[in-house]
Each structure stands twice: as C-alpha cells, then as structure tokens.
Structure 1
Amino acid sequence: MNTSMHVARFTVAYWCVLIAALLPICCAWLAKSGSFGKPRKDGGFDNRNPREWMARQTDWRARANAAQANSFESLPFFIGAVIIAHLLGAGQTLLDMLAFLYVMLRIFYIMMYVSDMPTARSALWAAGFAVNIAILFIGYR
C-alpha cells in the first residue's frame, strides 16, 4: 500500500499570479490617492459616481487609471500561461523565474505609464508580453 501523499504547494509562479491580480487594484488606489476626504465639489473622489469622476481626471491620475485597465487586460493571458505551464510539467525553477520577471516588468510598466514615459512603457509592455509567451511554451514538448 502506498502511504505517500501528494501535497500540492503554492509555487512562486502562483504567488506571482496573486501579485499580478493585485496590481490593477494598486493602480486604482494610486489614481484616487490624495482625493479621499476632499469634498466632491472641490474635486475629491466621488464614490457615488466613481467612473464619471475618473473620466474627468487628467495627467497622472488618468494614466494610473489606464494602467489599471491594461493590468486587468493582461491578467487572463498571464494566469492561463502559468496554469498551462504547470499542467504541461514545465521546469518549476524556470517557470518561477519567468513569472517573477513578468511581475517585475508589469510593475515597471505601471511606473513608466504613470510617469508619462511612453517609449519605455511600450518597451516594457512588449518585454512582458514576450515573457508571457515564453511562460506559455516552456512546458511544450
């Protein structure tokens, strides 16, 4: 009788999925930061109509909101790639390193977006997309 039990573990790549899922929320917080507690008539955050309030924002707040949207848009591919790589038996160390790299690229992408550095932002987006494709295929045999 086999008494060994398979114990699933939460890999670094899975932790990276969680972090990537939190990045859009961080962007939303950033877009709204400094406006909490201010009266709506003075431009403070309007929780009754948050989308209308956000649509009126400009500069870094608008860019932080755009980074939020892009972070949500990129999330399904990253989650799918990590799960597929795990299912295909990708080498765990490489998968973990690529997932961590992806998250770091996304963090720098957000920083460049909010800082209004479009060329660097686009380069980081492309690098993140390439890393995501690599994650998808590392378990391919």
Structure 2
Amino acid sequence: MTVAEWCVFGTLMLYLLTIAPIKWIGFRRFDNARPRDPAFYNDPIAARALGAHQNGIEAFPFFAIAVLLAEFRAGPQRLIDELAILFLIVRIAYVFTYLGNRPTLRSILWSIGFALNCAIFFMPAIRHWLPG
C-alpha cells in the first residue's frame, strides 16, 4: 500500500475517532439505542464534535476518490503521498479547531484541505508539467 492509501485509512479513522470519545465520556447520558438523539448533543463540545465528525464524513469520499484516481492515472506517487499527508495533517488540525471553537481558523483549514484535494484530483491532468 502507498503512503497516500494509508492516509485514506487515517482520514477514515479520524472522523470515527472524532465522535467516539464524546460518546464514551458521556456514556451515562449516551443511549446507543438512540444514537442520533439531539438531546445528547446539547452540550457545546458534543455538538462541535458531532459537527467535526459529520464534516469528516462529507470530506472523506472526495479525498479517497482523488487519491485513487491520481494513483490509477499514474500521477507522480511521491507528490500524491506528500499531498495526502498534508491533507491528513490539515484534517487533524481542523478537528482541533472545530472542538476548540475557532471558526475562522477552521474555515481556513477547510479551504486548505479542499485545495489539497483538488490538487490531488487534478494531478493526472497536469502530470506532464510536474516533476518526476
């Protein structure tokens, strides 16, 4: 497996691990029979964790498809790996800014992550102008 493919797995785990601790910490209030009960997410931290989790679910498909497409279309693997690592780092920072209630920085990080995704996605189209 390539580094970028491991980053796809890491991104998947990140969005799962974003919400799991909140449910575990609030286990006395969390009802697994009603996992989407809005009352559980009334706490501001729980609400922000849910938002970060949901955004992770939204961001994941584009990232996974971008990596696989770039690799399938023979983009430069080293560059794909580097951009995928950067994306994962940005997503980790994004989660922390979401939990820390830093909306401006969070939006900046989201934009950077989206730009990295676009760069990976369009890499096959511009690979002739890229270094090895």
TM-score by length of 2: 0.90
Aligned to 1:136: 121
Residue correspondence of structure 1 range 99-110 to structure 2 within 5 A: 99-110=84-95
Query: Is the CA contact (8 Å cut-off) linking 1:46 and 1:53 kept in structure 2?
Result: no
Between Structure 1 and Structure 2, which shows a larger proportion of helix residues? 2
State the Cα RMSD in Å.
1.3
Indicate which of 30, 42, 47 corresponds to 1:45. Answer: 30
4+ residue stretches of structure 1 with deviation over 3 A? 53-56
1:15 aligns with 2:6: yes
Shifted more, 75-84 versus 45-54: the winner is 45-54
Once the two structures are TM-superposed, the CA of residue 111 in structure 1 deviates from its matched residue by: 0.4
Unaligned 5+ segments in structure 2 are 127-132
Computing the radius of gyration from Cα coordinates, the structure with the larger value is 1
Deviation by residue 1:12-63 (Cα, 9 ceiling, x = unmatched)? 0000000111111111113323112x2xxxxx21111111156542211100
Once the two structures are TM-superposed, the CA of residue 87 in structure 1 deviates from its matched residue by: 1.2
Aligned to 2:45: 60
Aligned residues: 126
Larger RCO (alpha carbons 8 Å, 6+ apart) = 2
Aligned to 1:113: 98
